[in-house]
Amino acid sequence: MKLLTKNSARATLLTMAVSMVMQVSAGEVLIDTWRTDDKDLWEDVIIPAFNKHHPDIKVTYRPTNPPDYNATMDSRFKGGTAGDLIACRPFEVSLSWYHKGNLKSLQQQPGLDNFPAFAKAAWSDQGVPYCMPIASVLHGFFYNEEIFSELSLTVPKTEAEFFAVLDAIKKEGSYLPMALGSNDKWEDYEVAYAGVGPNYWHGETGRQGIIDGQRKFTDQPFVDAWKYMAKWRPYLGKGYQSQTYSDSQTLFTLGRAAIYPGGSWEISGFNKAIEGEFEYSAFYPPVQKAGDQCYITDHVDIGMGINKQANNPTDAAVFLEWVASAEFADLYTNKVSGFFSLSNHDIAVKDPVAAEIKSWRDNCQSTVRLHSQIKADGILGSLYDASAGVLNATRTPEQAAADVQAVLDSQ
């Protein structure tokens, strides 16, 4: 056997060490998420940007149909097939995954210092972070600017003005006044009720009141928000009870509906679908009467954690640190238009509709979706059923409120 010289032995050891480091640092990272709408942007823009810094880490984006995400991830955690990185919804769902041991503590994760306390609070357990904040979304109404111009309509600031606009569109007859269905139910609560309701329960005052038990869903502000939604029925499309969320989006992007209650997360998809065929913008939920304080749902929407059983936790942490960078914040805000970075980085919003929506924070008080942090099994489903029931006229606003409160009281 040929003996190695001292120098050649050192070289061999160095090569082995480098090889071992390469084996540890290089690998594949799988991201599980519900964001189906962003698949192309992640694959074509965000992941390639990350790979400029870390070309040896292959990142795969695996989206799941949003309504199925929670259940799908429960199954994947149990079956050991969950990805390395997990997109985190705020508060209870992700917290339950952390409590079950599915998500790692991020207490030592680099990059978390780039986020304010309120953003980290949505994904922390007694001060221990388990998901890194990414972005928030805002709720309101999109409108077709060309239809508004054609019918000489102005953006409504009060509910009276809002119904005057809807009446004018309906009377003229060429367009559907408002695109909203009740087949899927979730948008009737998460977009509609949770979007316009804060003007009634005064945002965080009402939400915190429900959480600490000082307020009930049967209190007048919460009932009145459903009464307001019930008045929308005459302006919805024929057969709206079987109209899906996707159907409503299509009605708006084809220019057939003048107004669409939605959220900023839809801007990227709208831009792609509309392709410049018409101009559109957005307005925040009109207040009950002139002079009232306006409230907006500015929901901490998405974070990202590391699977405790990840195949490649080291590279997952590398990716997560990059998620905390100014580069990612700029890409996510301006490429995934309508998602506003929760980081402290000063990001200029380039999309005009996204910039308009972000400007609402200057005048209106922010809150998050009403059900957030309410610890009651079934509360979200009951809010879906209640809000869709009110739109379908199968429940009165008072019945809807009583049904939801009954779920809360049964815990």
Best CA proximity match to 156, nearest among 235, 256, 253, 241:
235
Sign of CA dihedral 400, 403, 406, 410: negative
DSSP 175: S
Q: Give the pLDDT score at 374.
A: 83
- Beta-strand runs (E) in 27-156: 27-33, 57-63, 85-88, 124-125, 128-129, 132-144
H or E element, residue 281: strand 280-283
Interatomic CA distance for residues 398 and 225, integer angstroms? 11
Q: Superfamily assignment of 28-136+299-351 in CATH?
A: Periplasmic binding protein-like II (3.40.190.10)
Cα distances from 352 to residues 147, 285, 323, 370, in angstroms, run 18, 19, 24, 28
Backbone angles phi, psi at 76, to 5 degrees: -65, -40
pLDDT tens digit string along 82-117? 999 999 999 888 999 999 999 999 999 999 999 988
Tell me what pLDDT residue 375 has: 76
Q: How many beta carbons lie within 10 A of that of residue 174, not counting itself?
A: 10
Residues 6+ apart with CB under 8 A from 292: 158, 199
Residue ranges of the chain with per-residue pLDDT less than 70:
1-26
The predicted pLDDT at position 101 comes to: 97
Give residue limits of the domains in the chain: 28-136+299-351, 138-297+365-409
Per-residue model confidence as pLDDT tens digits over 283-322: 999 999 999 999 999 889 899 999 999 999 999 999 999 9
Give backbone dihedrals phi and psi of 409, rounded to 5 degrees, phi first. -70, -20
**Euclidean distance between CA atoms 357 and 361, whole angstroms:** 8
Give the model's pLDDT for residue 26: 55
44 and 330 in contact (C-beta within 8 Å)? no
Dihedral of CA atoms 369, 372, 377, 379 in degrees, nearest 10, equals -20
DSSP per-residue letters across 198-212:
HHHHTTHHHHHHHHH
Contact 322/328 with Cβ under 8 angstroms?
yes
> How, if at all, do strands 57-63 and 176-178 pair?
unpaired
Give the separation between CA 22 and CA 9, rounded to whole angstroms: 20
Angle between helices 379-392 and 220-230 (to 10 degrees): 40
* Domain 28-136+299-351 matches domain 138-297+365-409 at the CATH topology level: yes
Residues 6+ apart with CB under 8 A from 361: 138, 296, 298
Q: Are 31 and 59 in contact (CB under 8 A)?
A: yes
Amino acid at 167: D
pLDDT at 338: 85
Q: Which CATH number fits domain 138-297+365-409: 3.30.365.10, 3.40.190.10, 3.40.50.300, 3.30.300.30?
A: 3.40.190.10
Confirm if 73 and 98 have CB atoms less than 8 A apart. no
